Amino acid sequence: VKASWEKRDLSLRHPFTIARGSRTTSPSVILRLEHDGTTGIGEAAPSSRYDETVETVDQFLASLPWQRFHDAFLLEEICSTVVSHAPGNNAAKAAVDLALHDWLGNRLGQPLWRILGLNPAKAPVTSFTIGIDTPEAVRKKVAEAEEFPVLKVKVGIPDDEMIIQAIRDCTDKPIRADANEGWTDKSLALDKICQFAEMGVELVEQPMPANRLDDMVWLRERVPVPLFADESVRSGADLKRLSGSFHGINIKLMKCGGIREALRMIHTARSLGLSVMLGCMIETSVGISGAAQLAPLADYCDLDGNILITNDPYTGVLSGRGKLVFSDRPGLGLLDRNG
């Protein structure tokens, strides 16, 4: 298997602000694998929250024993080697996993969702994310997001009620709120969640810091809407200890290391009675199309990372009015915008 990769700076349509900070670009690494005349494309969208940068992705990919991977069909063996090669580095690992799945589909001439036995018509609609902003700017973004039936809004700052109210001034569509660990007091978090629920917020993601699971048990017993873990969950090994503190989990390929681990997490979550959301980082259509292949297995989708950027090098699974639109193209269904 031959590998090459290149760094991309993804330009955000609007400066993107969450409880942890603000940015106008986001890094990505596009990986290209070739084996036996067939190509597969993958992506790593590294996040500093999980100690990854384009430099760590580059180092990880450069250190892999590519010469030992002599048959790209042996996805389980290659991915096991990649996973145990070094701890962490899950976005870099996801790039390899995605590229191998794309290769597999391209080689077999079938879309990955078909190889996985999934029905694209079962995919839930995706929400569209609105970052933290002034009420005036939030109202403008809500107008721009008119075609999306569900909004996900970033909260987790002191006067975040104003953001929810700004949305409610314009629309009564369902809202999902993501505090990104921003509320550090459990009583305050409970007040916020109850107030948001009355304003039509249907679920709240990561209200408190990732390791505050005792506070989450307390909160879970009292809240009127489901709570979803994001920063508190990376891979399947985290799930057992989360089942008393959250109602559901947000699975992201860049956190867990790819499609293979995400599938395992979905089935583990089901066995523990946890709901499943499929989420993303700021990613190109490569990562988003990879996650979308699993969407028919999810209860909720938040796969809009590619819609938030202006220089996506690929098209793949599209999102029209929030509905994920799958093509019959093989693998992840990617088309290079530059031919």
Binding site for Mg ion (CB under 5 A): 178, 205, 230
Cβ closest to Mg ion, residue 20 vs residue 220: 20
User: Which residue type is seen at 138?
Assistant: V
DSSP reduced 3-state for 141? helix
Minimum distance from residue 319 beta carbon to Mg ion (Å): 18
User: Which of 1/227 has CB closer to Mg ion?
Assistant: 227
Least distance from Mg ion to the Cβ atom of residue 206, Å = 5
Residues facing 176 on adjacent strands: 152, 203
Nearer to Mg ion, 86 or 210 (CB): 210
Nearest to 202, CA basis, from 219, 226, 233, 179: 226
Residue ranges in the chain assigned as alpha helix (H): 54-63, 75-85, 90-108, 112-115, 135-144, 161-168, 186-198, 213-220, 239-242, 253-256, 259-271, 285-292
Closest CB to Mg ion among 52 and 178?
A: 178
Q: Nearest distance from residue 152's CB to Mg ion, in Å?
A: 8
CB of 189: closest distance to Mg ion in angstroms?
15
CA atoms within a 13 Å half-sphere pointing along the CA-CB vector of 223:
30
**CA–CA separation, 325 and 337 (whole Å):** 17
Cβ contacts of residue 285 below 8 Å, gap of 6+? 306, 312, 314, 315, 316, 317, 334
Cβ closest to Mg ion, residue 151 vs residue 334: 151
How near is the Cβ of 250 to Mg ion at its closest, in Å?
Answer: 6
Q: 30 or 291: whose CB is closer to Mg ion?
A: 291
Give how far the C-alpha of residue 38 lies from the chain's centroid of Cα atoms, to the nearest Å: 27
Q: Which is nearer to Mg ion, 51 or 146 (CB)?
A: 51
Residue 109 CB neighbours (<10 A): 10
The whole-angstrom separation of Cα 336 and Cα 315 is 7
CA distance 132 to 252: 21
CB-based contacts of 225, cutoff 8 Å, min separation 6: 193, 196, 197, 201, 202, 203, 204
**Token match 């290209």: residue?**
32
CB-nearest residue to Mg ion: 230
Minimum gap (Å) between residue 62 Cβ and Mg ion = 30
**CB of 3 vs Mg ion, minimal distance in Å:** 30
Comparing CB distances to Mg ion, the nearer of 1 and 298 is 298
**Count of CB atoms situated within 10 Å of the CB of 165:** 13
CB of 179 to Mg ion, least distance (A): 8
